[in-house]
């Protein structure tokens, strides 16, 4: 096993170097002005990362929306990863996840009454279309757009996972980095996400020392707060369980199609039920074979009470899935999450982001 890892690393290392050279040249072309950035009259906040995988962009974007929507008319623009449409698409009340992607759909379902949500691969054109459709928009949030440098942001927020430090990683395909770690210099705010609630001072210092940010950059640490279970199909639910009600005689099937389900699994395993886990790829589109597999796994569970628990993002896709039998819908629940910034932070995120919107040039 160790020899295979070494061989794989040796084979991928040259590809990683080539990839890094291409990205560095692209970034240089932006820095010297050959590739042009477009500025807009409204402030643009970029939320992104420099590593592939789930760093928590959607929950943090939702946190920012909650923080700012009473003071700004916000437009949220995403590329709409794995959607089945092309070009610019504005979310409306009859939109589906397949049209705009599961994460934009989730945000529209939560905040659509006071936030404009749209998707477009071309972020410059997407912003123009959003402002044309709603001239009252006075703040744009670009979701997962740190690498999309054609838009000049007012400031950028980069997320990195506590359990996968970027300073211990490598460029793709050898590692998970989309860009060299020095690209972090473009960020105004860096957030270490999914931190354990009992984060130790030495862990805080390790991140701070290894990231080695400039004085103009602010560093924050955040964690997830898990809320009460919610039914994926409210019209079918006759009973909503709570995790602390479950006993060792009950069973839970954790269903996940997100990039990193480990924090969710750890959270549920803190309670008493017997737990099985079925993991699919990130943004997985559940077909009939997947649903049959899920049904079989659910039926194989032992226990007095049996439930399927999934993520909020998966709930968006499952809600629209035509293959799930009615008999199973009453047993499927999702667990919402919220972001909480930790007391170890040197700065107050809420105060600082408001100042950056109004003061940063």
Q: How far apart are CA 16 and CA 25, in angstroms?
A: 14
**Listed range (16-30, 130-144, 209-223, 250-264) with the worst mean pLDDT:** 250-264
Inside any domain, residue 98: yes
Are both 78 and 210 inside the same structural domain?
Answer: yes
Q: 310-338 pLDDT, tens per residue? A: 999 999 989 989 999 999 999 999 999 99
Are both 104 and 205 inside the same structural domain?
Answer: yes
Inside any domain, residue 34: no
Q: 148-168 pLDDT, tens per residue? A: 999 999 999 999 999 999 999
Inside any domain, residue 10: no
Q: What's the pLDDT score for residue 272? A: 84
| Phi, psi for residue 75 in degrees, rounded to 5 | -115, 130
Q: How far apart are CA 139 and CA 114, in angstroms?
A: 13
Specify the 3-state DSSP secondary structure of 129. Answer: helix
pLDDT at position 2 over 70 = no
Q: 209-236 pLDDT, tens per residue? A: 999 999 999 999 999 999 999 999 999 9
Q: How far apart are CA 93 and CA 80, in angstroms?
A: 17
Are both 146 and 253 inside the same structural domain?
Answer: no
Are both 152 and 65 inside the same structural domain?
Answer: yes
High-pLDDT (> 90) share of the chain, %: 80
Report residue 360's pLDDT band, with 50, 70 and 90 as the boundaries: low
Specify the 3-state DSSP secondary structure of 168. Answer: helix
Are both 214 and 249 inside the same structural domain?
Answer: no
Strands 115-119 and 89-90 come out as antiparallel
Look up the CATH number of the domain holding residue 349. 3.40.50.300
Are both 175 and 98 inside the same structural domain?
Answer: yes
Inside any domain, residue 19: no
Question: For helices 102-111 and 312-319, what crossing angle results, to 10°?
Answer: 90
Are both 50 and 194 inside the same structural domain?
Answer: yes
Between 11 and 268, where is the model more confident?
268
Are both 63 and 202 inside the same structural domain?
Answer: yes
Are both 64 and 212 inside the same structural domain?
Answer: yes
Report residue 345's pLDDT band, with 50, 70 and 90 as the boundaries: low
Q: How far apart are CA 312 and CA 104, in angstroms?
A: 12
Are both 298 and 346 inside the same structural domain?
Answer: no
Specify the 3-state DSSP secondary structure of 338. Answer: strand
Domain count, the chain: 2
Are both 199 and 234 inside the same structural domain?
Answer: no
Residue partners of 277: CB distance under 8 A and separation at least 6: 253, 254, 256, 261, 265
Residue 247 zone, left/alpha/beta (φ > 0; ψ -120 to 50; rest): beta
Q: How far apart are CA 358 and CA 361, in angstroms?
A: 9
Inside any domain, residue 25: no
When pLDDT is averaged across residues 268-280 and rounded to a whole number, the result is 91
Specify the 3-state DSSP secondary structure of 190. Answer: strand
Q: How far apart are CA 191 and CA 344, in angstroms?
A: 12
Report residue 361's pLDDT band, with 50, 70 and 90 as the boundaries: very low
Range of the domain at 328: 228-335
Q: How far apart are CA 140 and CA 156, in angstroms?
A: 12
Q: What's the pLDDT score for residue 234? A: 94
Q: What's the pLDDT score for residue 198? A: 87
């Amino acid at each position: 096993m160790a020899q295979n890892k070494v061989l794989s690393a040796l084979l991928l290392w040259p590809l990683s170097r080539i990839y890094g050279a291409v990205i560095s040249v692209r970034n240089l072309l932006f820095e010297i002005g050959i590739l042009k950035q477009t500025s807009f009259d409204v402030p643009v906040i970029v939320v992104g990362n420099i590593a592939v995988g789930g760093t928590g962009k959607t929950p943090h974007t939702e946190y920012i929306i909650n923080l700012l929507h009473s003071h700004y008319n916000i437009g949220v623009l995403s590329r709409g990863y794995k959607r089945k449409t092309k070009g610019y698409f504005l979310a409306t009340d009859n939109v589906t996840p397949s049209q705009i992607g599961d994460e934009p759909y989730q945000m529209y379902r939560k905040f659509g009454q006071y936030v404009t949500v749209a998707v477009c691969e071309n972020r410059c054109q997407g912003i123009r279309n959003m402002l044309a459709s709603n001239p009252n928009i006075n703040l744009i949030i670009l979701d997962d757009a740190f690498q999309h440098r054609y838009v000049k942001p007012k400031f950028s927020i980069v997320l990195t996972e506590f359990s996968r430090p970027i300073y211990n990683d490598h460029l793709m395909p050898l590692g998970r980095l989309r860009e060299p770690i020095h690209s972090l210099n473009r960020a105004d705010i860096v957030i270490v996400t999914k931190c354990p609630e009992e984060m130790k001072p030495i862990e805080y210092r390790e991140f701070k020392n290894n990231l080695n940010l400039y004085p103009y950059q602010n560093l924050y640490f955040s964690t997830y707060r898990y809320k009460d279970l919610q039914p994926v199909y409210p019209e079918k639910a006759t009973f909503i369980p709570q995790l602390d009600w479950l006993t060792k005689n009950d069973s839970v099937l954790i269903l996940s199609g997100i990039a990193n389900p480990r924090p969710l699994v750890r959270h549920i395993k803190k309670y008493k039920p017997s737990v099985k886990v079925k993991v699919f790829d990130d943004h997985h589109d559940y077909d009939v074979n997947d649903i049959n597999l899920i049904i079989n796994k659910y039926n194989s569970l032992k226990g007095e009470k049996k439930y399927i628990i999934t993520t909020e993002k998966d709930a968006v896709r499952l809600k629209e899935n035509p293959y799930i039998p009615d008999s199973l819908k009453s047993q499927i629940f999702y667990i919402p999450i919220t972001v909480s910034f930790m007391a170890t932070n040197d700065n107050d995120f809420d105060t600082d982001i408001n100042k950056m919107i109004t003061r940063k040039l």
